[in-house]
Amino acid sequence: MLTPKYPAPDTYTPPNPVAPDPATAPLPAPIAPAAPAPVYVPAVPARASVQLTPGSTLALVAGGGAVVLVVGAVLVSLLLAVAITGVSVAVVAVVLRLLVRDMHRGR
């Protein structure tokens, strides 16, 4: 079931080549010397550095400032969330401590 099934081998047999008679064979035409191939030299750019115009510099500064502001806002909000969670856990701990103390006193 899982054994591969190979196709039948090719049955083509090439015909027997007949060697040309050297006495009756025509002489090859003389070959003219070819012109040398042109050499391709890729153009090298004059400058490989990035040119910054005043407008693009201003855009980069504004974009960088926006990124700093967004990352700062995210970090401050995360810090604020941790602080609020810590304060609420502390308040719950104080309330539970007071409740447990009142239960032990018998009130």
Query: What are the boundaries of each domain within the chain?
Result: 75-107
Whole-number Cα distances in Å, 67 to 20, 63, 74, 80, 92: 82, 6, 11, 20, 38
Give CA–CA dist 16/25, Å, rounded: 19
User: pTM for the full model?
Assistant: 0.44
Q: What is the pLDDT of residue 77?
A: 97
**Which of these, 85, 83, 86, lies nearest to 75 by C-alpha position?**
83
Q: What is the pLDDT of residue 25?
A: 66
Question: Mean pLDDT over all residues of the chain?
Answer: 83
Sequence-distant (≥ 6) Cβ neighbours of residue 60 within 8 angstroms: 52
User: Higher confidence at residue 14 or residue 35?
Assistant: 35
> Residue 106 above 90 pLDDT?
no
> Residue 50 above 80 pLDDT?
no
